């Protein structure tokens, strides 16, 4: 790891984190949340499409019964 002690004043250099593991964990959590939200939205949309297909299929069967 590069030491910033010579570049920055000691008060600023001492407040910098030695490890970025907290930021990496936060980034993974945000990414996972975005993926889960996306999957939830797609599941909702899929449910709507399936319902519409069932309705259209039922209408088509009803039409076929009327014409026969």
- The domain ranges of the chain are 20-67
- As a whole number of angstroms, the distance between CA 46 and CA 36 comes to 15
Tens of pLDDT, residue by residue over 16-68, are 566 778 898 999 999 999 999 999 999 999 999 999 999 999 999 998 888 86
DSSP state of 19: -
The pTM of the full predicted model, rounded to 2 decimals, is 0.59
């Amino acid at each position: 790891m590069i030491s910033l002690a010579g570049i920055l004043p000691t008060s600023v250099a001492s407040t910098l984190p030695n490890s970025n593991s907290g930021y990496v964990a936060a980034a993974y959590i945000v990414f996972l949340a975005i993926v889960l939200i996306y999957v939830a939205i797609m599941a909702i949309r899929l449910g709507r499409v399936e319902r519409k297909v069932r309705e259209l299929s039922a209408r088509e069967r009803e039409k076929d019964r009327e014409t026969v």
